[in-house]
Structure 1
């Protein structure tokens, strides 16, 4: 496994994403680092989870969500 694949695997696990969420993030031009930076901390109750955030951005840009 290459370094890039390993980084995506870490982001997938830490952000609790599935393969469709990873695909949407890649189509939006996101990097694993940007996903990891946007994990809400315990004092950020207002912030959406990364999964919800990616899906919202994807739906706003493309009009639908991958299944």
Structure 2
């Protein structure tokens, strides 16, 4: 599989499983694939099954003892909030 297809698969898994970058990183460190994440999305009949986000975090914590957190940079926060770059230069 080409790098582009792998990247697209991870983007799809991130979207469908409602994961953030830290969740994706934890899944990769656990050796999971995008396909395995998508396959484990609980259906309406599987109320006993945890959402993929919690499942990955629980497995990661069980294996490594703590959950990985990624602190966003100020640039990432501004991009997500769509704050203009010159925001800090405003007089108020």
Q: TM-score range by the shorter chain?
A: over 0.9
2:43 paired with 1:59 = no
- State the Cα distance separating 1:50 from its structure 2 match: 0.1
Which residue of the other structure, out of 27, 30, 53, is the alignment partner of 1:28? Answer: 30
- State the Cα distance separating 1:44 from its structure 2 match: 0.4
TM-score by length of 2: 0.72
> Which segments of structure 1 move beyond 2 Å, counting only runs of 4 or more?
none
2:14 paired with 1:12 = yes
Which residue of the other structure, out of 38, 41, 49, is the alignment partner of 1:39? Answer: 41
Aligned residue pairs: how many?
67
TM-score by length of 1: 0.98
Superposition CA RMSD, Å: 0.9
Q: Which has the higher contact order (CA 8 A, sep 6+)?
A: 1
- State the Cα distance separating 1:37 from its structure 2 match: 0.3
Q: Which piece of structure 1 moves more, 1-10 or 18-27?
A: 1-10
